[in-house]
């Protein structure tokens, strides 16, 4: 991954590289403070859409840190000068911000028989600011029934994407078909879960979001992450397996699913999950973990995938270790010894590498009751965004 990051930095230095985008929470222009979550929901939807197409989008955590540093309270209505100050603090070149307003339904308005009455209408306006030229772009607008907020946000995100990266933007029909409508109350619970300060609150909000709309992939993914962080692998796997291919975090969900199944001893299931990811997101870590699952099943393809990971990042001692371990299992002691020496050159105090080097030099093969069984090293970091940004950068530099 260090190699991938260095390539991204190289692309950033080249002319014509895509912008770094900051998406701020949209300001609440209504008289109801309890609707502030909508502004965060719009910003989250826009950010996810841009990330899914390979644009560099700053994390919400980075933005919140700058807010703290500049003493800006959450959901504050920023002046134009404050927007610029936040953007400069984060070195962003494009800023997306805006506002929304919610109008209550007219008093006494009758609803259609058998249909729930409207909760009002919402109008969302997005502003774009090019920091390199200090020039505003077009204002982008959506309005409609509050119950249709998911579709309105998605179409606004498509408009933003089309403005920033027209060559990467699919048709509106395709874009919206990948984002099925979600119930308003489910979206509210999901967004409040993102904003919650404790894992218990997050779990409660995300669970409620799924109960309200079983098609909603994002809270399923977040619940999987919460259980993964607590090493509750079977619970995490259950949630992560529910994320459908149309979900924006499908491949990351499968990567974590593979890890959960691996640590649960389901190596065939882990292999299948990592294979799904490797086809579309060929990260070094994915190849490494795929190789680990195959190695646990004593499949010869494990060495090929370990070597792919090592070719991607020759500086990582874990990749050298896994190649050496696979070669040792095959009885190729001299080649395995070279790999373990490479580990020790990069990490001198590695007792397992020292042990395995000794076994290679003694030409001691694996045995059924070998204490050196199951030493494969897996990776838990996953940087799909970095991969897609690099891919977009390289594709943008191809001759038209």
The H or E element spanning position 324 is: helix 317-329
Task: Check residues 394 and 161 and name the one with the higher pLDDT.
Answer: 161
- pLDDT tens for 292-337 read 999 999 999 999 999 999 999 999 999 999 999 999 999 999 999 9
pLDDT at residue 398 in the model = 63
**pLDDT band for position 254 (50/70/90)?**
very high
Instruction: Give the burial string for 71-94 (b: 16+ CB within 10 Å, else e).
Output: ebeebeebeeeebeebbebbebbb
Last residue of a domain, one of 134, 150, 180: 180
Say if CB 343 and CB 353 are below 8 A apart: yes
Residue 90 in domain: yes
Q: Tell me how far CA of residue 116 lies from CA of 101, 108, 314, in angstroms.
A: 21, 14, 60
What percent of the chain is predicted at pLDDT more than 90? 75
pLDDT at residue 179 in the model = 87
Residue 108 in domain: no
255 and 291 co-located in one domain: no
pLDDT at residue 3 in the model = 46
148 and 211 co-located in one domain: no
Most confident stretch, 71-75, 165-169, 225-229, 363-367: 225-229
Average pLDDT of the segment spanning 391-395: 68
Residue 124 in domain: yes
- CB contact set of 288 (below 8 Å; sequence gap of 6+): 305, 306, 309, 318, 319, 322, 377, 378, 379
Average pLDDT of the segment spanning 102-120: 64
220 and 140 co-located in one domain: no
Task: Check residues 138 and 8 and name the one with the higher pLDDT.
Answer: 138
- pLDDT tens for 21-40 read 999 999 999 988 799 999 99
**Per DSSP, which regions of the chain are E strands?**
20-23, 27-28, 56-57, 94-103, 121-130, 135-136, 140-145
CATH for 210: 1.25.40.10
- For the chain, the domain total comes to 3
Residue 358 in domain: yes
The H or E element spanning position 333 is: helix 333-346
Say if CB 124 and CB 13 are below 8 A apart: no
Residue 232, pLDDT above cutoff 50: yes
Instruction: Give the burial string for 32-54 (b: 16+ CB within 10 Å, else e).
Output: eeebbbbbbbbbbbbbbbbbbbb
**pLDDT band for position 400 (50/70/90)?**
low
137 and 242 co-located in one domain: no
Residue 111 in domain: no
pLDDT at residue 246 in the model = 76
Domain that holds residue 358: 284-381
Q: What would the two tokens of residue 358 be?
A: 């000794």
63 and 153 co-located in one domain: yes
231 and 307 co-located in one domain: no
Distance CA 208, CA 187 (A): 10
Say if CB 42 and CB 124 are below 8 A apart: yes
pTM, full prediction: 0.86
35 and 173 co-located in one domain: yes
Return the C-alpha torsion angle 188, 194, 195, 197, nearest 10: 130
**pLDDT band for position 15 (50/70/90)?**
very low
Q: Is 176 exposed, middle or buried (0-12, 13-18, 19+ CB in 10 A)?
A: middle
349 and 310 co-located in one domain: yes
Residue 42, pLDDT above cutoff 80: yes
166 and 301 co-located in one domain: no
Residue 209 in domain: yes
Residue 248, pLDDT above cutoff 60: yes
Last residue of a domain, one of 239, 258, 278: 278
Q: Angle 184-195/217-229 helices, nearest 10 degrees?
A: 30
Task: Check residues 56 and 193 and name the one with the higher pLDDT.
Answer: 193
Residue 115 in domain: no
Residue 109 in domain: no
140 and 22 co-located in one domain: yes
The DSSP 8-state label assigned to residue 320 in this structure reads H
- pLDDT tens for 311-322 read 999 999 999 999
Residue 119, pLDDT above cutoff 80: no
pLDDT at residue 107 in the model = 61
Please state, rounded to an integer, the average pLDDT across all residues of the chain: 90
99 and 170 co-located in one domain: yes
Residue 344, pLDDT above cutoff 50: yes
Q: What would the two tokens of residue 95 be?
A: 């800023």
- pLDDT tens for 52-103 read 887 889 888 899 999 999 999 988 899 999 999 999 999 999 999 999 999 9
Residue count of the chain: 400
136 and 85 co-located in one domain: yes
pLDDT at residue 10 in the model = 44
């Amino acid at each position: 991954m260090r190699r991938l990051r260095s390539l991204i930095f190289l692309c950033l230095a080249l002319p014509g590289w895509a912008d770094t985008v900051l998406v701020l929470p949209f300001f609440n222009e209504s008289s109801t403070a309890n609707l502030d979550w909508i502004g965060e929901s719009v910003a989250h939807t826009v950010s996810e859409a841009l990330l899914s197409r390979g644009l560099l989008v700053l994390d919400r955590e980075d933005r919140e840190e700058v807010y703290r540093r500049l003493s800006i309270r959450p959901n504050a209505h920023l002046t134009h000068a404050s927007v610029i100050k936040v953007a400069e603090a984060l070195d962003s070149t494009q800023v997306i911000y805006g506002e929304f307003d919610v109008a209550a339904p007219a008093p006494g308005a009758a609803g259609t028989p058998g249909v729930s009455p409207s909760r009002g209408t919402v109008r969302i306006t997005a502003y774009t600011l090019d920091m390199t030229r200090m020039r505003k772009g077009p204002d982008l607008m959506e309005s409609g029934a509050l119950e249709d907020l998911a579709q309105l946000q998605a179409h606004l995100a498509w408009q933003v994407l089309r403005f920033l990266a027209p060559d990467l933007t699919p048709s509106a029909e395709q874009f919206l078909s990948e984002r099925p409508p979600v119930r308003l109350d489910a979206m509210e619970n999901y967004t409040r879960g993102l904003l919650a300060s404790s894992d218990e609150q997050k779990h409660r909000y995300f669970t409620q979001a799924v109960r309200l709309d079983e098609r909603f992939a994002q809270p399923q993914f977040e619940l999987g992450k919460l259980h993964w962080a607590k090493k509750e692998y079977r619970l995490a796997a259950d949630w992560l397996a529910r994320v459908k291919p149309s979900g924006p975090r499908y491949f990351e969900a499968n990567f974590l699913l593979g890890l959960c199944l691996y640590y649960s001893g389901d190596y065939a299931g882990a292999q299948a999950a990592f294979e799904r990811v490797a086809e579309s997101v060929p990260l070094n870590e994915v190849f490494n973990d795929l190789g680990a699952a195959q190695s646990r099943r004593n499949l010869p393809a494990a060495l090929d995938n370990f070597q792919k990971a090592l070719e991607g990042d020759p500086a990582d001692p874990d990749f050298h270790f896994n190649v050496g371990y696979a070669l040792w299992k095959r009885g190729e002691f001299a080649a395995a010894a070279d790999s373990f020496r490479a580990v020790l050159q990069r990490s001198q105090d590695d007792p397992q590498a020292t042990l395995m080097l000794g076994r290679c030099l003694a030409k001691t093969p694996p045995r059924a009751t070998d204490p050196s069984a199951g030493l494969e090293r897996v990776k838990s970091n996953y940087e799909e965004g970095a991969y897609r940004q690099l891919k977009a950068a390289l594709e943008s530099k191809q001759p038209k």
